[in-house]
Structure formats: C-alpha cells, structure tokens
Amino acid sequence: MTTRVLLADDQALLRGTFRLLIDSCEDLTVVAEAADGAEAVELTRTHQPDVVVMDIRMPGTDGLAATETICADPALASTRVLVLTTFENDEHVARALRAGASGFLGKHATTDALLDAIRTIAHGDSLLSPGATKSLITQFLAAPAPSYPTAPGIADLTNRELEVTKLAADGKSNDDIAAGLHLSVLTVRTHIQRAMTKLGARDRAQLVVIAYKNGLVAPPPTSGQA
C-alpha cells in the first residue's frame, strides 16, 4: 500500500528535493505541496494524505498552527503530521506534540531517517529525533495545558493496557515492553492499539501526551529537586 505524503515548506527548492526523494520510493508518493500553513491545511483537506511533512517557520500561518488545525479536524483523523524543522528546541517540541504532531525531526537528519520517519508515522507509531530527549518531553508534557481535554476512557483500561501505556509513556519501545513483560511484540501492539481507542488517541504520540496529562506517568525531578 502506497503512503500518500503532503509537503509543507516555504522553500520551493527544498520541497522539490523532498519530492524527488520520496517519489523515488515505491511505497511513498507526494500528492501535493504547500508553501505556507494555510495552504497546507487547505490541501490536506482536499487530498487527505496519510502524512504531512510540516515545516515550522513559514510565512502567515506557521507549521505549528497548521498542525493544530489539521489534528483537531475529525475529518482528518487518519492524517499524521511529521514536524520537520531546523529549530529543534524545547518549546517547538512541546508545542508540536501538544498540537497533535506524531513526530518531530530536525532538518539535519539523513535522507534515510526522513523516509523511515514517514513510514513509522504512517503506521501509527510516534517518532522523536535524538534531539527530542525523554527528559525534555516529560518535562514539557507534564506542564499544565488548560486547553488539553481530559481522558475519561482511562477508567476503561484493563490492568495490562494501563501497564503497557505507562511503559510506552516512559519511552519504552514495543520490543522493550515485550521483553520486560514476557509478551510477544504483537500482543504489546494490540494492547497499545486498544488503549489508544479507549483514550481517543490518534496515535502513539498522543497516547503519551494523554498519559502525562492524566498523571499516569510522573516526570523526572528537575534540577535542584530531590
């Protein structure tokens, strides 16, 4: 099955380079290009891509605002957003994840890393580049965000689903979770999928956000704390 990709970046040359790279893969294809956030939202609604590769800094509506609009639209529930930017800092990572992005990758990443990121996100997993460390994510996702909805479905989680969700939020991969709980990777994926469904999470990244927002996982102590 071919993964359909929309490119959103204000640099035409960069979009062209990405298009050539993505279209060279048999399992990926570019369906549209946008030069700013507003156009990205419009074209996403028109083409319904599987993945939007979104730059942050664009004229007018920026990539983070566009990401929030796309992820908040029920009609685009199957579309995932990969935020791609030169500015890989704490604030951008936090805002991208809160906006609903499924992944965050710096523009310094290799071509193979970009292609792998698109595939990973298209399959419903989350992706954070090495610069988006676990401690950074836990710190910022644990900060108050009044606009973020609660997740009443937490009460519906089975003990195993709750356990697997906590481990996923703690940064464990499916392989790590499977080894630690003596389960198959397929079983772990099934528990995560069921937890996502019950909590209304569109993907693994949002599942992690919900876990932190609802206190299922506590952030590590910050500097100066015991």
Contact (CB, 8 A) for 57 and 64: no
The whole-angstrom separation of Cα 195 and Cα 151 is: 11
pLDDT at 63 over 70: yes
Q: Encoding tokens for residue 43?
A: 């074209």
pLDDT at 131 over 50: no
The three-point CA angle 73-78-82 to 5° equals 90
Local structure of 2: helix, strand or coil: coil
CATH 1.10.10.10 placement within the chain: 150-213
Task: With CA atoms as reference, report the closest residue to 213 among 100, 122, 128.
Answer: 100
Task: With CA atoms as reference, report the closest residue to 192 among 145, 107, 126, 130.
Answer: 126
Contact (CB, 8 A) for 62 and 40: no
CATH 3.40.50.2300 placement within the chain: 3-132
Q: Which has the higher per-residue pLDDT, 22 or 144?
A: 22
The whole-angstrom separation of Cα 119 and Cα 131 is: 20
pTM: 0.69
Specify the CATH number of the domain 150-213: 1.10.10.10
Q: How confident is the model at residue 28 (pLDDT cuts 50, 70, 90)?
A: very high
What is the pLDDT at residue 133?
A: 40
pLDDT at 226 over 50: no
Task: With CA atoms as reference, report the closest residue to 21 among 35, 7, 41, 39.
Answer: 7
pLDDT at 37 over 60: yes
The whole-angstrom separation of Cα 57 and Cα 39 is: 14
Q: Which of 61-70, 146-155, 170-179 has the lowest mean pLDDT?
A: 146-155
Identify the CATH homologous superfamily for domain 3-132: Response regulator (3.40.50.2300)
Residue 30 pairs with which residues in a beta bridge?
A: 5
